[in-house]
Amino acid sequence: MGERIAVIGCGYVGSVAAGCLASIGHEVVGVERDAARLALLRSSVAPVHEPGLTELLAAGVESGRLRLTDDPAAALEFADAVFLCVGTPPGPDGRPEMGAMSDAARTIAAHLRPGHVVVTKSTVPIGTGEWLAGEVRAELARRSRDGVPVVVVSNPEFLREGSAVEDFLHPDRVVLGGNDPGAVERVAAIYEPILAGRPGEGRVPLVRTGLSTAEMTKYASNAFLATKIGFANEMSRLCDLFGTDVATVMDAVGLDRRIGGAFLEAGIGWGGSCLGKDLAALVGSARDRGYEPRLLEAAVGVNEAQRQQVVDSLAGLLAPLAHRRVAVLGLAFKPGTDDVRDSPGLDVAKRLVLLGARVVAFDPMVREADPRWGLELAGDVTSAVRGAHAVVVATAWPEFASLDAGELLRSMGGDVLFDGRNVFDPVAMRAAGFRYVSPGRAAVGDAPGAPGPFAGAFGLAAAHEH
């Protein structure tokens, strides 16, 4: 018999959590106050593009294990565990906005009863679990209900856009933090079908810890991933200076079991809704306590420089850049999603527009352009690259890697190809007639050890100028 669970907030994290928890046998009520989103969910349509999520939601609704409502009172009356999945978007200073979490605290207090366990899945500042418990207690006292116990467990999410369902159901680990061991074990029991692991692969590690340590684990994980990417990108600058190939270097480095090859791909940097936001929150929290986290600040700086290097390189190769046509292939921050939040490709496109370039972009999942972006959106690759003086590959969609070099060059009005995701073979593209540029691969095919022809554009000085 499954547990009875309320999921408060059914956006990206909440809809995945609700669908997945229902799929492993629990009875789930998802609470969503946005009328348009709720209508989609009730029609078994995922509110975001995420492979497998729509099918999972449909199966949950059809089985009766998943219900959707805008009534938190009914959901909390039904449930024994309450999963908070409300949004914590970055504010003007980069810190998470906690308004939705405050609203959730008041909502919970109005309907909390003994036996409820509150589970925070939203990415929140370190110390939020204790803060949330205090907020709920204060509201309970205001309502003359201060005898109701408040039990909070932190259960941070580690979901990657494009594989969130897989990540939820088959995680590398489950982290549970709380000051009440019994409550932690109750949440562990909810995850038992997941913790059991795939047949033959053994159990999924369960980390039991305190509230703040669980919250710190989420920030530390994303900070390390961002730093690892930043390291690869810093190496790409050095590889261009010394005439070596960053792809080969990083492949060899990643074979060291102490390091691993994931997140060592050099390119134009990371983006999305998590890494930048989480680094900003962690850096800000550290500064509040009088510490300057220099390594994390450097990771952010390197990422910024990787985007600017595209603009600097094109400005040098196409001088003057004004009125030149540039095709940007890829606006989503990564393949498998339509999310353009903090997208490197979109950021580069905007910077080029500000310098007077005519930017035409194509992305297989991004079908509408905000007029404020200042760019044109093409319906296919052919339309985007036609007559372009330069092409920038900003997202590693598989269809871009399979483009025919000869046809691409014949379609263009120039010969500059900036491969921001290292999807092409540098030797083949240069042989086809392109002035091919890619971070850390400027000298591939040249004499061993010779500085690359674009080393100046990628030099370390440029990284510090911006």
CATH of the domain at 389: 3.40.50.720
Q: Is residue 215, in this structure, part of any structural domain at all?
A: no
Residue 95 is predicted with a pLDDT of 83
Question: What's the token pair of residue 459?
Answer: 């030099």
Select from 146, 179, 209 the last residue of a domain: 209
Mean pLDDT of the chain: 92
* Residue 257 CB coordination number (10 Å): 6
Q: Is 10 a catalytic residue?
A: no
Pick from 262, 14, 6: nearest CA to 123: 14
pLDDT of the residue at 259: 96
Count of structural domains, the chain = 2
Catalytic residue of the set 10, 20, 239, 274: 274
pLDDT above 70: residue 51: yes
In a shared domain, residues 162 and 308: no
Q: Is 243 within 8 Å of 459 (Cβ atoms)?
A: no
126 & 179 share domain: yes
Do 280 and 167 belong together in one domain?
A: no
Find where tokens 């890619």 sit. Answer: 438
pLDDT tier, 164 (very low <50, low <70, confident <90, very high otherwise) = very high
Q: What pLDDT digit, counting tens, does each position of 132-145 carry?
A: 999 999 999 999 99
- Does residue 235 share a domain with residue 181? no
Taking only the tens place, the pLDDT of each residue in 327-343 is 999 999 999 899 999 99
Kindly state the helix (H) or strand (E) to which residue 36 belongs, with its residue range.
Answer: helix 35-42
Residues 128 and 17 in one domain: yes
Token pair of 231, please? 């390291």
Q: Which range, of 365-379, 409-423, 448-462, averages the lowest pLDDT?
A: 448-462
Whole-number pLDDT of residue 445:
64
Residue where a domain terminates, one of 141, 175, 209: 209
- CA triplet 99, 145, 125: central angle to 5 degrees? 30
Question: In which element (H, E) is residue 83 found?
Answer: strand 81-84
**Which tokens belong to 445?**
């095919």
Give the chain's radius of gyration (CA, Å).
Answer: 24
Residues 205 and 225 in one domain: no
Q: Number of H helices and number of E strands within the chain?
A: 20, 14
> Is 85 a member of any domain?
yes
Closest-CA residue to 304 (of 253, 234, 382)? 234
Q: Is residue 414 part of a domain?
A: yes
> Which amino acid belongs to residue 43?
S
Express each pLDDT in 418-458 by its tens digit.
Answer: 999 999 999 999 999 999 999 999 777 654 444 444 444 43
Residue 450 pLDDT: 43
Is 377 within the bounds of a domain?
Answer: yes
User: What is the reported pLDDT for 1?
Assistant: 62
HSE-CB at 140 with a 13 A cutoff on CA atoms is: 19
Domain residue limits at 158:
4-209
Q: Which amino acid is at 162?
A: G
In the predicted structure, residue 63 carries a pLDDT above the cut 90: yes
Could you give the strand order of the β-sheet that contains 4-8, starting from the edge strand earlier in sequence? Answer: 66-69, 27-31, 4-8, 81-84, 117-120, 152-154, 174-178, 206-209
- Residue 243 shares a structural domain with residue 203: no
User: Are 200 and 249 members of one domain?
Assistant: no
Residues 250 and 355 in one domain: yes
Largest CA distance in the chain: 79
254 within domain boundaries: yes
Q: Say if 175 falls within a structural domain.
A: yes
Please name every residue paired with 212 in a beta bridge, in sequence order, or none if there are none: none
Q: Are residues 235 and 200 in the same domain?
A: no
Q: Mean per-residue pLDDT for 370-378?
A: 94
Q: Is residue 204 part of a domain?
A: yes
Within this chain, do residues 293 and 437 fall inside the same structural domain, yes or no?
yes
Look at residue 37 and tell me if it is in a domain. yes
- Of 159, 184, 209, which residue is a domain's last? 209
Say if residue 202 is in the same domain as residue 225. no
- Give the predicted TM-score (pTM) of the model: 0.89
- Tens of pLDDT, residue by residue over 284-318, are 999 999 999 999 999 999 999 999 999 999 999 99
